[in-house]
Amino acid sequence: MRFPVKLVLALFSLAALGPVPARAADPFALWKIVHDKCVPNEEAHQDSYPCTKVDLEGGVARGYVVLKDIEGRSQYLVLPTARVTGIESPLLLAPDAPNYFADAWHEIGRVGHALGAPLGIDELSLAVNSALGRSQNQLHIHLDCVRADVREILWKQLGAIGPHWAPLGAPLLGHRYLAMRVLAPDLDKIDPFKLLAQGIPAARASMDQWTLVVVGIMTDGYVPGFVILAGHVDPATDDWASGEELQDHDCALAEPAAEP
């Protein structure tokens, strides 16, 4: 496969069928895990299994779960406890919508913990694939390391990335992305779904064709922030807007540097 859309879960094996874009044998497998197992176990027994965490502080309509994906050493997923199909769901753009990206960033420390290695924020990332670049029809945000080559390109381009959407000056894995930069310690007041819908003409009407990736940054002045990337489906270049491709599920950045 040309992009990592396969989700290998502890309870379900999701086999890709046919040519790209991939489709899972059961595109509702993630929803069944959340709705039929994690949430009921938490409500009845205060046990989040098979999820790592179930957060129902705001109720089921606003809650989320954390699920360890067994693809990769450190990949986690954050999913709503409400029924939200994916990036195209109008529920994500409601004025009072939960900020699931903020929830996911609050859980990002699990990546380093799983690796047994401290990671800088500029080594970490979040990703949501497009409807054509995913295998599951329940919103899920991928938490994992960013690819080392992607991180290097972003650092080289950082001076040219501003506070508004603009084409990134270099392709990432052969695919074109738009980029913007925000300076903040977290995503509590920054919702990438809404930034995409509000900042890119016509995006609101075609959200299913977009992917979003958030990569942490630390500027030279040690000010934390994020580069937010948006990509669009382009069949002509075999681009199915699967921003998860920018993540490294082997997390090479966590490996010690080789001796000279």
- Of 235, 241, 185, 191, whose CA–CA distance to 5 is shortest? 241
User: Could you state, in order of their start, the residue ranges of all structural domains in the chain?
Assistant: 29-253
Per-residue pLDDT, 132: 96
Within 13 Å of residue 52, how many CA atoms lie on the same side as its CB?
17
Per-residue pLDDT, 16: 28
pLDDT class of 70 with cuts at 50, 70, 90: confident
Q: What is the pLDDT of residues 9-61, one digit of tens each?
A: 333 333 322 234 455 689 999 999 999 999 999 999 999 999 999 999 999 99
Per-residue pLDDT, 17: 26
Residue 8 sits at φ, ψ, to 5 deg, of: -105, 110
Cβ-based burial of 164 (10 A; exposed 0-12, middle 13-18, buried ≥19): exposed
Per-residue pLDDT, 256: 66
The larger pLDDT score, comparing residue 126 to residue 70, is at 126
Domain spanning 29-253, CATH architecture: 2-Layer Sandwich (3.30)
Q: What is the pLDDT of residues 150-191, one digit of tens each?
A: 999 999 999 999 999 999 999 999 999 999 999 999 999 999
Per-residue pLDDT, 254: 93
Q: What is the pLDDT of residues 77-131, one digit of tens each?
A: 999 999 999 999 999 999 999 999 999 999 999 999 999 988 999 999 999 999 9
Determine the Cα–Cα distance for residues 117 and 254; give it in Å rounded to an integer: 6
DSSP string, 9-53: -SS-B----SSSSP--S-TTHHHHIIIIIIHHHHHHHS--TTSSE
Alpha-helical runs (H) found in the chain: 29-32, 39-45, 100-106, 109-115, 148-157, 192-199
